[in-house]
Chains A and B, each alone.
Chain A
Amino acid sequence: MTETLATDAPARAGVEVRLEGLTRRYGAITALDQLDLTMHRGEFIALLGPSGCGKTTALRLLAGLEDADEGRVVVDGKDVTRLPTNKRDMGMVFQAYSLFPNMTARQNVAFGLRLRKVSETERNKRAGDMLDLVGLSLQADRYAHQMSGGQQQRVALARALAIQPTVLLLDEPLSALDAKVRAQLRDEIRRVQLEVGITTLFVTHDQEEALAIADRVGVMHGGKIEQLAPPADVYHRPATPFVAEFVGLSNRLPATVSGKDADVLGVRMPLVDGSIPNGAAIALVRPEAVSLTAVPEGASADSDPLIGQVVATSFLGAVSRITVDLGEHGTVVAQLPTSDATAFAGGTLAKLTLRQDPVLVVSL
């Protein structure tokens, strides 16, 4: 696993959380394989990956909702591995349906305080404060079935934070919501988290979410973290082919490695990771690193490997993605501002220009 520190993260409140060598098996399936993760004080870490990669298992192990077969969970220096969930003092937000249906929003939020024998006036006041924090004071006396999905999740967040936990855990909290609500709510969550300064683990399969709000993103695959780094690094400097292909789109282009550079279709690009042996390889190039220009006079697809025929165009609003067929080198997706993209209609020839960013290369 490759790990890069978020060096510009200021010291905040919150505790340090360490997952050490966590392993969890279900019969023949290994859901988590010697997972190591250190969360710094007040840090917001997103675990990102496809279903089955183990991200939810990692979160549930941290919460105590599953037992670890091997490894330790250390919170603020204390080994809590054997501690039951109700003694771990962690706030948790589930994907859906977690509000108690027989209680109003206020009663839900006050529930944890009630268990801690806080007086009724005091806990109602604190519940009211938490609901203010998430912007739902008007819904305080409504029941779950009277609220929208987004509102329910905000109440769930308020409820988790009301007990002033040491760690905040969010298990795909936005997956069940509409796209617009999702974008709003994820910013809400981040805002609240920054305000409270709590160490947070956020699990999601949506890379846009992870990249948008996390301090560091842990991309998981097969029970292991393949890369743990700030969002920009995960995106621009993917450490493994899986990360490169899971996060954002990747074009696979033929390349020839020599030393610290690779020759991709005639363009020399520096390598992210210099450990690939010289020779033929595959370069993973992002569409936004690929642009299109008009074909110069006299040039054709045979003379220049970067010239190909436009086969498809996707209009995505501000940008468009254009698929160009290079013949023997396969198809490439380029991304351009839509105003520029209109020049390249289907069937016309276009010439690719590759930005000379550091590129990830994998063996054939």
Chain B
Amino acid sequence: MTDTVAAADVLVGDQPSRAGRRLPLSWLGAVPFFAYVGVFLLLPTGIVVFEAFFTAAGQPTLENINALTTSVVIQAFIKSITLSLISALLGAALGAVLAYMIASGPPDGMTRRLWTAAAGVLAQFGGVTLAFAFLATAGPVGLITLAVNNLGGDLTGSWLTDLIGLIVVYTYFQIPLMVLVFLPALDGIRPQWREAAESLGGTGWQYWRHVAIPLLTAPFLGAVLLLFANAFAAYATAAALISQGGIIIPLQIRIAFTSETVAGQENVAKALALGMIIVVAIAMSLYAMMQRRSARWLR
């Protein structure tokens, strides 16, 4: 009898009969985590979502939301979406090619390991450092700028702070990220499928068209979505490149944050942030959906 009691003491999971006594004590263990996350994650999110609809004085208002309809903000949304979409598509396309080159080598080879480590490291390479790297490359006195000008060109490097510059910089960052996200999908493609297709009379193109591309579509789209969300939410690189101005939404938030605002619109930053949450949340949930679909096939 004592054995079973002692054994029950070390059993894991809630025993129904002991649930009443057990529950409070067990839950205590989770309190620190929930308290912390509640204060430092859920609370700020809640602040953003709710106070977007209130003035600084606490009056409910739609003024903050209205501030989002000014042409400046709408332009910024359009530019943000354009920037994110183009850098995501370019990054996904080029990254997919690069990933394919990496995946088609020997799985344990030096090349593959080198490139995988490089991708991991380059995907890390963002923010201020990335901005600086591009200033050093294509800025007013950057390496490439000077080289081109020496050969008779006339670059000023100011394109870097325009939308086109941001697209280039973001794409540089998206490609390694794409490699990391897409490589597992490519690894899931089994060589037997190609051989089976050949034995049935298929050419390389037919294999790609009927088997490989349909299989890779969901992971590819998922990756595009992830890259999109990643670009849309990015702040530091743009902030370092563009010291003043609000060409994209995150920079608009900077403006709303740091400058004086019209009375009744003190919480515009929160409204902008709310808009961002919505866009990113949509992208990420579509991404999760794509992941579930491809997990069925590509184990």
Contacts and interface: CB of A to CB of B under 8 A. Distances in A.
Given A65-B195, A101-B215, A111-B210, A145 B297 contact: yes
Given A102-B211, A102-B214, A92 B202 contact: no
A63 B199 contact: yes
A100 B195 contact: no
Contact of A115 (B193, B200, B214): B200
A92 B199 contact: yes
Contacts of B297: 101-102, 145
Contacts of A96: 192
Contacts of B192: 94, 96-98
Interface stretch (A28-36, A83-91, A130-138): A83-91
A111 B206 CA distance: 11
A168 to B, nearest CB: 11
A86 B198 contact: yes
Interface in A99-149: 99-102, 111-112, 114-116, 143, 145
A65 B198 contact: yes
A159 B196 CA distance: 10
Contacts of B296: 101, 143, 145
B215 A85 contact: no
Interface in B174-195: 190, 192-193, 195
Interface residues of B, number: 21
Q: Is the interface of B mostly helix, strand, loop or mixed?
A: helix
B195 A89 contact: no
Interface string A52-71: 00000000000111000000
B203 interface: yes
A112 B193 contact: no
A114 B207 CA distance: 12
Nearest to B215: A102
Given A94-B192, A101-B298, A145-B297, A159 B215 contact: no
Given A86-B202, A112-B201, A115-B202, A92 B298 contact: no
Nearest to A84: B198
Interface string B195-226: 11111111100100011001100000000000
A361 B298 CA distance: 53
Contacts of A92: 195-196, 199
A86 B214 contact: no
Given A65-B198, A115-B200, A115-B201, A98 B193 contact: yes
A98 B211 CA distance: 11
Given A115-B206, A145-B296, A145-B297, A98 B196 contact: yes
Contacts of A94: 192, 195-196
Contacts of B190: 97-98
Contacts of B211: 100, 102
Contacts of A99: 196
Contacts of A283: none
A333 interface: no
Contacts of A160: 199-200
A91 B200 CA distance: 7
A128 B159 CA distance: 62
A163 interface: yes
Interface of B: 190, 192-193, 195-203, 206, 210-211, 214-215, 296-299
Across the A-B interface, the 8 shortest Cβ-Cβ residue pairs: A112-B200, A92-B199, A101-B297, A85-B198, A98-B192, A98-B196, A102-B214, A86-B198
Given A86-B199, A92-B195, A100-B197, 9 more contacts: A86-B200, A89-B201, A90-B199, A92-B196, A97-B190, A114-B210, A145-B296, A159-B196, A163-B201
Interface of A: 63-65, 84-92, 94, 96-102, 111-112, 114-116, 143, 145, 156, 159-160, 163, 169
26 contacts: A63-B199, A65-B198, A85-B195, A85-B198, A85-B199, A86-B200, A86-B201, A88-B199, A89-B201, A90-B199, A91-B200, A92-B196, A94-B196, A97-B193, A98-B192, A100-B193, A100-B196, A101-B297, A102-B214, A102-B215, A102-B297, A111-B210, A115-B202, A145-B296, A145-B297, A163-B201
